[in-house]
Amino acid sequence: MAPFNLRFEMGKFFLYCLFPVGSLYVYNRPELQESFLFRDQMHTYNSMELFHEDPAKLNKVPKSQQDIDAYLKEYKEKMRKAKSTNHTETMSSQ
């Protein structure tokens, strides 16, 4: 491969790598984001309450063997009820 062709290919590779990284660096700065967004939309993007889930809805990790046994018992009972409900619905539809 000729030296000119090698330099040309290396220059193209540099531009192909530089363009996406440079555009992300230039256009993703916080001070520019304010000018791109409307002022009435800024409160929705700045409020962190949108990203936090209610702690009551979150899954709680069991800490002891008793907690695990209680959860497993509840889960088995719920699955037994769902299975019996599903079975009775299929039997009534036949």
Domains: count for the chain: 2
* 19 lies in the same domain as 45: yes
Residue 73 has pLDDT above 90, yes or no: yes
Residues 3, 44 within the same domain? yes
Q: Are residues 13 and 48 in the same domain?
A: yes
48 compared with 27, residue with greater pLDDT: 27
* pLDDT given at position 48: 59
Which pTM does this prediction carry?
A: 0.35
Residue of 48, 69, 68 lying closest to 60 (CA atoms): 68
Residues 8 and 42 in one domain: yes
Question: Residues 81-90: pLDDT tens digits?
Answer: 998 887 666 6
- Model confidence at 30, pLDDT cuts 50, 70, 90, reads confident
| Cα dist from 77 to 1, 59, 61, 65, 80, whole Å | 72, 19, 20, 18, 5
Are both 48 and 64 inside the same structural domain?
no
Domain identity same for 43 and 21: yes
* CA distance linking residue 9 with residue 11, whole number of Å: 5
Give the chain's mean pLDDT. Answer: 78
What pLDDT, on a 0 to 100 scale, did the predictor assign at position 94?
57
Q: How far apart are CA 88 and CA 6, in angstroms?
A: 74
Structural domain for 37, as ranges: 1-52
**What CA–CA distance (Å, rounded) separates 22 from 46?**
25
